[in-house]
């Protein structure tokens, strides 16, 4: 209910109601201080931020929740399959990245890797980005391909 109303007590909302002056992520700040890293240029602490893996303070928790949900969905889908089903999970025991999938010959027959990259780049260019997030999302074809195909880790 609070999320829908936009009143979750995150730094951005607290600053809006004049209960706090800094909108930087307190979770990211704490983790960076523990690592001895700079606490400058902290992302805004919003409801969306603390619920994504880009939040330094929540990355482990969000990733664990993602994996739990994935395992549940996978098990439920497998349990509901009939012998005649043509559905086949290609990475049943772990998550896979696009790069790994294209190492299997059958994926090249379904869709060329280059064609998928071109289409993904085309779609990425249409996504609007808020000005304060532009640096993180500015388009770089080489960087984008690395992210799509799982070569790079988290985006900076």
Can you give the pLDDT at residue 136? 60
Can you give the pLDDT at residue 82? 82
Q: Which residues, given as ranges, of the chain have pLDDT below 70?
A: 88-99, 104-105, 132-156
Can you give the pLDDT at residue 151? 37
Can you give the pLDDT at residue 153? 34
Can you give the pLDDT at residue 105? 61
Can you give the pLDDT at residue 146? 46
Can you give the pLDDT at residue 96? 64
Q: Which long-range contacts (CB under 8 A, 24 or more apart) does 64-69 make?
A: 67/95
Average pLDDT over the chain reads: 76
Structure token pair of residue 93: 């025991």
Angle at 20 between CA 17 and CA 24, to 5 degrees: 115
For residues 24 and 88, give the distance between their C-alpha atoms in angstroms, rounded to a whole number: 44
Can you give the pLDDT at residue 140? 54
Report whether 44 contacts 13 (CB < 8 A).
no
In the numeric block, the tokens 């009143």 are attached to 7
Structure pTM? Answer: 0.51
């Amino acid at each position: 209910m609070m999320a829908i109303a936009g009143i979750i007590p995150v730094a951005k909302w607290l600053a809006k109601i004049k209960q706090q002056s800094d909108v930087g992520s307190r979770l990211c700040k704490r983790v960076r201080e523990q690592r001895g890293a700079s606490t400058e240029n902290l992302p805004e602490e919003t409801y969306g931020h603390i619920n994504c893996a880009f939040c330094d303070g929540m990355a482990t928790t969000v990733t664990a929740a993602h994996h739990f949900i994935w395992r549940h969905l996978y098990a439920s889908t497998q349990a509901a399959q009939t012998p005649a089903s043509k559905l086949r999970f290609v990475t049943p025991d772990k998550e896979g990245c696009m790069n790994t999938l294209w190492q299997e010959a059958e994926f090249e027959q379904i869709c060329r890797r280059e064609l998928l990259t071109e289409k993904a780049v085309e779609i990425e260019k249409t996504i609007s980005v808020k000005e304060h997030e532009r640096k993180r999302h500015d388009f770089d074809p080489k960087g984008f391909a690395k992210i799509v195909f799982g070569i790079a880790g988290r985006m900076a």
